[in-house]
């Protein structure tokens, strides 16, 4: 079989051959790639020469390139364009990839060579980048069981394999549970309060399913506007309960899975000599320890909690003044009344703004921003195969005309795609044999689809999301380093969100919005009064939303600072962990954890705090743009330098080089208007 995953792509820049890849290709490709990688590892081990940086550390960095190539394609499509067969393939290959990972990380002979070089590092004439690779390679072995006894290595391997399979099953259950619920409305009277664009989208969704009426589901473009605008409180409650009980109970229940994941992480951490999993995970991050993270979260929580509670109290007063008869608003009332109050306070809502945020114009706007700041040019390609008809591809060139990256953009929701938005890559950047191999970068979102009568019009919040993910993409696009494991977004979790968070700030800058926000029908530039309202309303309920994000971080740390698994159920555990931070009534049977993909299947375990950590960096960092000018070339050039370095330099040093000082949490609290 001619396997397109194993043949060199003749497409421009080595683009994946998506037009040729079929599910049947994955398992043979993985098996061959793993076999090749084992040969490469064995070649390093059996080298009769004395261990050197080149024949061991660099050779190890470059080993397994075919496996990396196959993995990048398969696992990205597993998230963005999956099906049951692919999910079954993932379960079949996970033990194989885990076994190979253990073959490397627990290989005593290989570690002896690495250790010998590490102990001689000060006597070797290594560059700063080479020294950092050596240190990270050694730490990678030490932190992944290389110093364990033979018996404990076997135990560690079993833990890791089980964790991998459980994480896959967790994600599979969340996707299935999200897709399992829909609300089919056939009586137009039940649509009361919903704007026309929401109705049109729901009508198209029903038509696609061969149903009459209007269909709503739990994807963001459907769920969020329904909760904001529907006057049917009973239906809002139904939607809310469905969303917040995903994968909780029934055949898709993740309760036992998350307890077992937490338990295995505890056991793994203890086996490696740590008190808990958070201690293990944070040791090599900017934060350094769970105590430092909890102190950080508390510094952000303490001044914000009273203000958040006051915001909710004010919303209760408003709701009662507008016909609400219960004692207090419930979670399914929050979006509805907060949107009504927003409209009253600022005379601003999504329906007013969406006509000015046509997706195509927004895409062009972020490309123009990248051009103004960094000199980048985006050229749309039509001859590059894609994995789904909605995907668009762009060739990115630098200000000197040189190629920087291919950029894949996948914007619209579908049942084969998980919810949310993310940036990823089909290939990372590296310099190999003196050739700068440029990356293949992708962003994936779930924005409102075009209807029969209307182009894709996104909310201002969705535009913020677009800029956020594009910030991650820029991190991957602009990177330039020798070693792929240290380029682009391969940095500490509490640093990786800085490039994305800082980009969000341009969403509120009149000087930028005026350049592209034009009415899709009339071509009229967005009126200044609307921009003023966007800016004025930026911190509307900011303390509430700030607390909401902190709750995710607190819950994550609660799961990962455990030293023993608890006897109670995950629901009770979660309620206890968040009890002191609730600003709305807690619904007894609703839960976050069973669908908390970031920490149970998405790589953010003991790391969700990093969003807030990076918000602090971004607030402090953007203040330099505000001071010098939001398109200032010198500031942009300095920030580009930060983006190019990847993980070749300690992130704290990178930030200080850019900003001139260390950030403080007060920068974010001031930006949010909390202090």
In this structure, are residues 373 and 631 in contact, taking their beta carbons and an 8 Å threshold?
A: yes
The single-letter DSSP state of residue 457 is B
Helix (H) or strand (E) holding 476: helix 460-478
Q: Any catalytic annotation for residue 509?
A: no
Return the bridge partners of 435, or none. 432
Report d(CA 362, CA 455) in Å as an integer.
12
User: How open is the CA angle 357-361-362, to the nearest 5 degrees?
Assistant: 65
- Round to whole Å and give the CA distance between 610 and 285: 10
Phi first, then psi: give them for residue 444, nearest 5 degrees.
Answer: -130, 130
CB-based contact 622:570 (threshold 8 Å): no
What does the DSSP assignment read for 332-361? Answer: HHHHHHHHHHHHHHHS--HHHHGGG-BHHH
Distance CA 138, CA 553 (A): 30
Cα 533 from Cα 441, distance rounded (Å): 35
Tokens of 384: 């590059």
Q: Which residues fall within 8 angstroms of residue 109, CB to CB, at 6 or more apart?
A: 45
- As beta bridge partners, residue 525 has 518
Task: In whole angstroms, give the CA distance from residue 218 to residue 239.
Answer: 8
3-state helix, strand, coil in the chain (%, to 5): 60, 5, 35
Q: Which residue has the tokens 């995953």?
A: 5
Rg, the chain, Cα only: 25
Q: What's the token pair of residue 648?
A: 């070749």
Long-range contact set of residues 386-393: C-beta below 8 Å, sequence gap at least 24:
386/18, 387/16, 387/18, 387/21, 387/77, 387/80, 387/81, 388/80, 388/81, 388/414, 390/414, 393/15
Of the candidates 469, 484, 497, 574, the residue annotated as catalytic is 469
Measure the CA–CA gap between 216 and 226, rounded to whole angstroms.
8
Q: Please give the Cα distance from 378 to 410 (Å, whole number).
A: 16
Shortest CA distance to 338 belongs to which of 564, 540, 140? 540
Closest listed residue to residue 137, CA positions, set 100, 99, 107: 107
Measured CA to CA, the distance from residue 491 to residue 458 in angstroms comes to: 31
Q: Which segments of 302-413 are extended strands (E)?
A: 377-381, 392-397, 403-410
- Cα–Cα distance, 563 to 275 (Å, whole number): 6
Strand 403-410 versus strand 435-437 pairing type: unpaired
Instruction: Please tell me the distance from the alpha carbon of residue 450 to that of residue 466, in angstroms, as a whole number.
Output: 17
Pairwise CA distance, residues 587 & 581, whole Å: 14
Strands 403-410 and 440-444: parallel
Looking at the annotation, which residues are catalytic?
Answer: 469
């Amino acid at each position: 079989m001619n396997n397109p995953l194993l043949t060199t792509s003749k497409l421009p820049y080595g683009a994946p051959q998506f037009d040729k890849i079929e599910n049947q290709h994955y398992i043979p490709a993985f098996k061959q790639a793993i076999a090749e990688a084992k040969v490469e590892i064995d070649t390093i081990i059996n080298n009769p020469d004395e261990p050197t940086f080149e024949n061991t550390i660099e050779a190890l960095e470059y080993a397994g390139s075919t496996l990396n190539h196959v993995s990048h394609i398969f696992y990205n499509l597993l998230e963005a364009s999956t099906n049951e067969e692919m999910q079954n393939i993932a379960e079949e290959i996970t033990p194989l990839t885990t076994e190979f990972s253990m073959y490397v990380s627990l290989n005593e002979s290989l570690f002896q060579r690495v250790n010998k070089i590490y102990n001689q590092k000060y006597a070797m004439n290594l560059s700063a980048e080479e020294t950092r690779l050596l240190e990270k390679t050694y730490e990678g072995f030490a932190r992944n069981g290389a110093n364990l006894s033979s018996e404990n290595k076997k135990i560690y391997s079993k833990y890791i394999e089980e964790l991998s399979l459980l994480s896959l099953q967790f994600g599979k259950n969340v996707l299935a549970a999200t897709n399992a619920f829909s609300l089919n409305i056939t009586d137009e009277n039940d649509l009361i309060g919903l704007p026309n664009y929401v109705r049109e989208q729901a009508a198209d969704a029903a038509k696609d399913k061969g149903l009459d009426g209007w269909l709503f589901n739990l994807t963001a473009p459907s769920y969020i506007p329904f909760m904001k605008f529907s006057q049917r409180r009973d239906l809002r409650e139904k939607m809310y309960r469905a969303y917040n009980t995903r994968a909780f109970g029934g055949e898709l229940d993740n309760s036992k899975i998350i307890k077992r994941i937490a338990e295995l992480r505890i056991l793994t951490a203890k086996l490696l000599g740590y008190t808990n999993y958070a201690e293990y995970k944070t040791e090599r991050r900017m934060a350094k320890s769970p105590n430092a993270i909890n102190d950080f979260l508390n510094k952000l929580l303490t001044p914000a909690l009273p203000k958040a509670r006051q915001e909710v109290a004010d919303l209760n007063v408003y709701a009662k003044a507008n016909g609400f008869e219960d004692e207090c608003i419930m979670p399914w009332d929050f979006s509805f009344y907060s949107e009504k109050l927003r409209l009253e306070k600022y005379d601003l809502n999504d329906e007013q703004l969406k006509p000015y945020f046509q997706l195509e114009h927004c895409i062009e706007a972020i490309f123009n921003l990248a051009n103004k700041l960094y000199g980048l040019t985006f050229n749309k390609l039509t001859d590059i195969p894609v994995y789904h008809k909605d995907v668009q591809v762009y060739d990115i060139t630098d200000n000197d005309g040189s190629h920087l990256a291919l950029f894949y953009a996948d914007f619209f929701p579908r049942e084969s795609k998980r919810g949310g938005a993310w940036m990823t890559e089909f290939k990372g950047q590296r310099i190999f044999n003196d050739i700068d191999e440029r990356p293949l970068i992708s962003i994936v979102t779930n924005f409102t689809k075009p209807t029969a009568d209307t182009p894709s019009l996104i909310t201002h919040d969705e535009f913020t999301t677009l800029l956020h993910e594009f910030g991650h993409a820029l991190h991957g696009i602009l990177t330039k380093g020798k070693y792929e494991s240290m380029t682009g977004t391969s940095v500490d979790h509490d640093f990786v969100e800085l490039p994305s968070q800082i980009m969000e700030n341009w969403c509120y800058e009149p000087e930028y919005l005026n350049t592209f926000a034009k009415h899709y029908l009339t071509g009229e530039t967005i009126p200044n009064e609307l921009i003023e309202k966007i800016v004025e309303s930026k911190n509307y309920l900011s303390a509430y939303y700030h607390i909401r994000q902190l709750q995710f971080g607190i819950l994550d740390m609660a799961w990962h600072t455990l030293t023993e698994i608890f006897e109670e159920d995950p629901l009770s555990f979660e309620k206890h962990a968040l009890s002191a931070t609730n600003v709305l009534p807690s619904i007894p049977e609703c839960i976050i954890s069973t669908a908390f993909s970031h920490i149970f299947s998405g790589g953010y375990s003991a790391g969700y705090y990093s969003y807030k950590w990076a918000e602090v960096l971004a607030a402090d960092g953007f203040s330099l743009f505000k001071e010098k000018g939001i398109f200032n070339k010198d500031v942009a050039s300095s920030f580009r330098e930060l983006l190019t370095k990847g993980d070749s330099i300690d992130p704290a040093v990178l930030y200080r080089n850019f900003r001139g000082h260390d950030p403080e949490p007060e920068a974010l609290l001031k930006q949010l208007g909390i202090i």
